[in-house]
Amino acid sequence: MSAELRVLAVAGLPEVSEGMRVGELIADAAELEAGDVIVISQKIVSKAEGQVRKLSAVLPSAEARRLAAVLGKEPALVELILSESAEVLRAERDVLIVETHHGLICANAGIDSSNLPDADTVCLLPEDSDASARRIRTEITTAMTAGSGMGLAGHSTSSSAKSHPRPAIAVVISDSFGRAWRLGQAEVAIGCAGLAPLDDWRGRR
Amino acid sequence: MSAELRVLAVAGLPEVSEGMRVGELIADAAELEAGDVIVISQKIVSKAEGQVRKLSAVLPSAEARRLAAVLGKEPALVELILSESAEVLRAERDVLIVETHHGLICANAGIDSSNLPDADTVCLLPEDSDASARRIRTEITTAMTAGSGMGLAGHSTSSSAKSHPRPAIAVVISDSFGRAWRLGQAEVAIGCAGLAPLDDWRGRR
């Protein structure tokens, strides 16, 4: 049994904007080791991928304007939420619960305006968070291998890591979701790379 | 900002049975410090509180027998689930989702048969997990104060801790719940003492 889990904050990251390589920024800012799982907030991944939208540049459809009036929301924001959604599950009193194109059930399709440098801008989720995690993982492992000479099989005990001579790190992209019937927010993994997201306990005692 | 979170397993606890004082067991087994949050699985709390039931000693009602036949479950287990539930929310194909008397929405009213020494026994949730957490917290703080001479205000910087000269530890009781539409299980806090379960971010930037 693993006797200890340590969770460390990565300090000193810059304000992230479109085109920045998040994996390289993290590899520069943190002292990473093989076996680490790097949890990244969705917001900086979306910013790096250009998933930020100016509300004033969005033209709301008639359906978005109708729904916005019912909900008391901005029509441009509702237009973006609908464009990111496969289905609207609930729409009443300022609450818009949808299933996104990714299959996530969440409020406002995961779109929000927090932690953005400009007013009038909102941030969408990454288009494919698993793909984002894979790309960031490659950036980090490349930087680790180049930067410190580590990770060439010796740091890992798994045979799969030996056939792929890279440091065995994993990446999780997480977002804050509300939970039905509950106050507060919980972090939810919306994408990952380098780990199996479920541990199969069927048949174990 | 706190720079690090450490999660440590408490090793060496005995098989817990009715009447044991879980807080004292933990204080004996772990080197606790002021500021620690002690997360305890529901199962040992329930065992200590005598919340284990023999299925063969349960007399199922007519309603439990009817529902058991529909679901393919044991009538005695269904009887226990119904007795722990305020409302049945879903009952179909081996799935019984209820709201418990505590207000928890979960499968089988949180009753299960895992990690129990005897076959034919199942374990209910604690009757009042917040009360359980408060009692265990008192046991732990008493043991810490008596055992090591620590905790007499000097280890804490908060003024409320100074007026109550006890080590500032918190207790969380957690259980594994499935999530609707998702595979796998997540740990859910079903009771706590010594901490505020929500951090109010309204109005903060």
A11 touches chain B (CB under 8 A): yes
Q: Which of B119, B112, B108, B117 is nearest to B54 (CA)?
A: B119
Q: Looking at this protein, which amino acid is placed at residue A157?
A: T
Rounded Cα distance, B121 and B98, in Å: 21
The pLDDT of residue B153 is above 60 = no
Predicted confidence (pLDDT) per residue in B35-66, tens digit? 999 999 999 999 999 999 999 999 999 999 99
Chain B residues in contact with A2 by the CB 8 A cut-off are: 9
Rounded Cα distance, B23 and A132, in Å: 44
B204 touches chain A (CB under 8 A): no
Rounded Cα distance, A87 and A71, in Å: 17
Contact B34, B164 (CB under 8 A): no
Rounded Cα distance, A90 and A146, in Å: 49
Chain A residues in contact with B7 by the CB 8 A cut-off are: 4-7
Q: Which of B77, B113, B119, B118 is nearest to B94 (CA)?
A: B77
Chain A residues in contact with B181 by the CB 8 A cut-off are: 105
ipTM: 0.79
Contact A139, A27 (CB under 8 A): yes
Angle between helices B62-71 and B75-83 (to 10 degrees): 120
SS3 annotation, A41-61: EHHHHHHHCCCEEEHHHCCCC
Q: A4 vs B5: CB contact, 8 Å cut-off?
A: no
Mutate to test the interface with B, among A1, A2, A7, A183 (most CBs of B within 10 A): A7
Token readout for A59 is: 């033209």
Nearest Cα of chain A lies from the Cα of B106 at a distance, in angstroms, of 12
Cβ count near A58 (within 10 Å): 18
B9 touches chain A (CB under 8 A): yes
For chain A, 205 residues long, give each residue's pLDDT as a single digit of tens. 458 999 999 999 999 999 999 999 999 999 999 999 999 999 999 999 999 999 999 999 999 999 999 999 999 999 999 999 999 999 988 889 999 999 999 999 999 988 888 889 999 999 999 999 999 999 999 999 886 544 444 444 444 444 545 679 999 999 999 887 788 999 999 999 999 999 898 888 6
Q: Across the interface, which of A8, A184, A199 has its CB nearest the CB of B4? A: A8
* Nearest residue on chain A to B10, alpha-carbon basis: A3
Nearest Cα of chain A lies from the Cα of B115 at a distance, in angstroms, of 8
Cβ count near B1 (within 10 Å): 4
Rounded Cα distance, B133 and B195, in Å: 11
β pairing state of B170-178 and B37-41: parallel
Predicted confidence (pLDDT) per residue in B99-148, tens digit? 999 999 999 999 988 888 888 999 999 999 999 999 999 999 999 988 65
Domains and CATH numbers, chain B: 1-51+125-195 (3.30.1330.100), 53-124 (3.90.1660.10)
At residue B1 the predicted structure's pLDDT band, cuts being 50, 70 and 90, is very low
Q: Which A-chain residues 159-198 have CB contacts (< 8 A) with chain B?
A: 180-181, 183-184, 197-198
Token readout for B47 is: 């065992």
Contact B137, B171 (CB under 8 A): yes
A150 touches chain B (CB under 8 A): no
Q: Which of A73, A74, A68 is nearest to A56 (CA)?
A: A74
Nearest Cα of chain B lies from the Cα of A202 at a distance, in angstroms, of 11
Q: Which B-chain residues 47-106 have CB contacts (< 8 A) with chain A?
A: 105
DSSP state of B74: -
Token readout for A116 is: 């953005």
Nearest Cα of chain A lies from the Cα of B1 at a distance, in angstroms, of 9
Q: B6 vs A7: CB contact, 8 Å cut-off?
A: yes
Residue B148 CB partners (closer than 8 Å, separation 6+) = none
Q: A105 vs B2: CB contact, 8 Å cut-off?
A: no
Q: Which of B129, B133, B104 is nearest to B22 (CA)?
A: B133
End-to-end CA distance of chain A: 15
Mean pLDDT score across all residues of chain B? 88
* Nearest residue on chain A to B103, alpha-carbon basis: A181
Q: Across the interface, which of A4, A184, A197 has its CB nearest the CB of B6? A: A4
In the A/B pair of chains, how many CB contacts fall below 8 A? 41
Q: Which long-range contacts (CB under 8 A, 24 or more apart) does A192-196 make?
A: A192/A130, A192/A133, A193/A130, A193/A133, A193/A134, A193/A136, A193/A137, A194/A133, A194/A137, A194/A168, A194/A169, A194/A170, A195/A37, A195/A170
Rounded Cα distance, A167 and A126, in Å: 25
